[in-house]
C-alpha cells in the first residue's frame, strides 16, 4: 500500500506533463482545422449564392387526386393521383404517384404508375414503375424491374 502511495505522486506528475503535451497537440490541430474551415466557408457561400431561385416544382401530394388538365412551363412532381391531361416541361411521377390520361413533357421520370398516352423527349422509367400505354420518345432508359407494356415509338 505504502509503496503504491510513494510511487504514485511522481507518476501523476509525468502523466500531467504528457497530458499537457497532448493538449498542446490537440490545440494546434484544432486551430489548423478552424483555419481550414474559415478558408472553405466563403467558397461554400459563394456556391449557394451562384444558384439563385431554382424553379420551384408544382407538387401534387400523396393522397391528393386531381381530375382535369394541368399545364406548366416548369417542373411538376406527382405523388398523388392525376386523371386527365398533363403538359409540362418536366414531370416526375413519384413512387406513390398515379397518372391516368395524356401526358406531354420534355423530361419524364416515372417511379410510380402511368396509364395512357405519352409524348416526351427524355424518358426514364424507374425499377418499381408500372407503365401501360402508347409512348413516343426520343431517348429512353428503362431500369431493371419495371413493368412496362404498350406501344413504343422513337421519334
Partner 1 sequence: MAEANQLGCLFVGEGVVLKGNFQVPDIASISGVVEGELTAKQILIEATGVVHGKISGESIDIRGEANESVSSTRSLIIRSTGKVTGSIHYSEIEIEKGGHLHGDLHNINPHS
Residue 120's contacts (CB-CB under 8 Å, 6 or more residues apart) are: 91, 103, 104, 105, 106, 107, 108, 135, 136, 137, 138
Give me the torsion for CA of 19, 21, 26, 31, rounded to 10°. 140
Q: Tell me which stretch binds partner 1 (CB under 8 A): 27-35, 56-64, 108-116, 141-149.
A: 141-149
Does residue 152 bind partner 1 (CB under 8 A)?
Answer: yes
Name which of residues 112 to 131 contact partner 1 (CB under 8 A).
124
Task: Give the residue with the Cβ less far from partner 1, 19 or 143.
Answer: 143
Helix, strand, coil shares of the chain as percentages rounded to 5? 30, 45, 20
Minimum Å gap between C-beta 138 and partner 1 is: 10
Task: Give CA–CA dist 89/73, Å, rounded.
Answer: 5
Number of residues that bind partner 1 (CB under 8 A): 17
Distances 30 to 20, 23, 33, 51 between C-alpha atoms, Å? 15, 10, 5, 32
Does residue 139 bind partner 1 (CB under 8 A)?
Answer: yes
Q: Tell me which stretch binds partner 1 (CB under 8 A): 10-18, 26-34, 35-43, 139-147.
A: 139-147
Bridge partners (DSSP) listed for residue 82: 66, 99
Task: Give the residue with the Cβ less far from partner 1, 80 or 133.
Answer: 133
Does residue 142 bind partner 1 (CB under 8 A)?
Answer: yes
Minimum Å gap between C-beta 143 and partner 1 is: 6
Chosen residue from 5, 33, 46, 149 binding partner 1 by CB under 8 A: 149
Residues binding partner 1 (CB under 8 A): 124, 139-154
Amino acid at each position: 500500500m505504502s509503496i503504491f502511495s510513494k510511487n504514485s505522486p511522481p507518476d501523476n506528475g509525468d502523466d500531467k506533463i504528457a497530458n499537457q503535451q497532448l493538449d498542446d497537440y490537440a490545440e494546434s490541430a484544432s486551430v489548423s482545422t478552424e483555419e481550414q474551415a474559415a478558408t472553405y466557408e466563403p467558397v461554400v457561400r459563394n456556391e449557394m449564392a451562384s444558384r439563385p431561385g431554382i424553379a420551384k416544382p408544382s407538387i401534387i401530394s400523396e393522397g391528393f387526386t386531381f381530375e382535369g388538365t394541368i399545364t406548366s412551363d416548369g417542373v411538376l412532381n406527382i405523388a398523388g393521383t392525376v386523371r386527365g391531361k398533363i403538359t409540362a416541361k418536366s414531370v416526375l411521377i413519384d413512387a406513390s404517384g398515379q397518372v391516368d390520361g395524356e401526358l406531354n413533357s420534355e423530361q419524364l421520370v416515372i417511379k410510380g404508375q402511368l396509364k395512357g398516352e405519352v409524348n416526351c423527349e427524355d424518358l426514364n422509367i424507374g425499377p418499381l414503375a408500372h407503365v401501360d400505354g402508347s409512348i413516343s420518345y426520343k431517348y429512353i432508359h428503362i431500369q431493371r424491374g419495371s413493368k412496362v407494356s404498350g406501344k413504343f415509338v422513337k421519334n
